[in-house]
Amino acid sequence: MQTRSTSGSRYATGHRSDSLADVLERVLDRGVVIAGDIVVSVVNVELLTLKLRLIVASVETAKEIGLDWWMRDPFLNSRARGLELEAENRQLRERLDALETQLEARTDPPAGGRS
**How far apart are the C-alpha atoms of 71 and 55, rounded to whole Å?**
15
If one asks whether residue 83 binds another protein (CB under 8 A), the answer comes out as no
Report d(CA 92, CA 18) in Å as an integer: 43
Report how far residue 111's alpha carbon sits from residue 102's, in angstroms, rounded to the nearest whole number: 11
79 in contact with another protein (CB under 8 A): no
Counting contacts by CB under 8 A, is residue 89 touching another protein?
A: no
State in angstroms the smallest separation of the CB of 85 from another protein.
14
CB atoms within 10 A of CB 82: 11
Q: Say if CB 37 and CB 50 are below 8 A apart.
A: no
- Cβ closest to another protein, residue 6 vs residue 110: 6
Q: Footprint of another protein on this chain (CB under 8 A)?
A: 1, 7-13, 18, 20, 22-33, 38-58, 61, 64-65, 69-70, 72-74, 87, 91, 94-95, 98-99, 102, 114
